[in-house]
Chains A and B, each alone.
Chain A
Amino acid sequence: MASHTADLEASGAHASNLQHHFENPDQQKDASTIGMWVFLVTEVMFFGGLFLAYFVYRQAYPAAFAAASNNTDLWIGAVNTTVLICSSLTMALAVHSAALGKKNLIVLFLILTLILGGTFLGVKAYEYHDKFVKHEVPGQNFDCRDEAGNPCVDAAHTPLFFALYFGMTGLHATHMIVGVGIILFLIAQARKGAYGPKWHTPVELFGLYWHFVDIVWIFLFPLLYLIDRSGAPR
Chain B
Amino acid sequence: MADHTEHHVVPKKIYFAVFFALIVLTWVTTLVSRVDLGKWNIFVALAIAIIKASIVALFFMHVWYSTRLTKMIVMCAVFWLILLLFITMTDIWTRSWMGVPGR
Contacts and interface: CB of A to CB of B under 8 A. Distances in A.
A52 B90 CA distance: 12
A56 B91 CA distance: 10
Contacts of A26: 4-6
Contacts of B67: 30, 33-34
A119 interface: no
A93 B7 CA distance: 16
A92 B60 contact: yes
Given A29-B5, A40-B77, A59-B93, A78 B56 contact: no
Contacts of B30: 74, 77-78, 226
A93 B34 CA distance: 34
Interface in A192-225: 197, 207-208, 211-212, 214-215, 218-219, 221-223, 225
Contacts of A51: 85
Interface in A82-97: 82, 85-86, 88-89, 91-93, 96
Interface residues of B, number: 50
B62 to A, nearest CB: 8
A218 B56 contact: yes
Contact of A211 (B35, B56, B70, B81): B56
Given A78-B27, A89-B15, A37 B70 contact: yes
Interface in B31-50: 33-38, 41-42, 45-46, 48-49
Nearest to B80: A45
Interface residues of A, number: 54
A99 B30 CA distance: 35
Contacts of B84: 45, 48-49, 52
B1 to A, nearest CB: 14
Main SS class of interface, A: helix
A22 interface: no
Nearest to A88: B60
B70 A222 contact: no
B60 A34 contact: no
A45 B89 contact: no
Report which residue of B61, B70, B74, B84 has the largest number of chain A beta carbons within 10 angstroms of its beta carbon: B61
Nearest to B3: A30
B15 A93 contact: yes
A178 interface: no
A41 interface: yes
Interface string B63-80: 000110110011011001
25 contacts: A26-B5, A30-B5, A30-B70, A33-B5, A34-B73, A38-B73, A40-B77, A41-B73, A41-B76, A45-B77, A45-B81, A48-B81, A55-B92, A60-B92, A78-B27, A89-B15, A96-B9, A99-B9, A100-B9, A221-B29, A222-B33, A222-B46, A226-B41, A228-B41, A230-B34
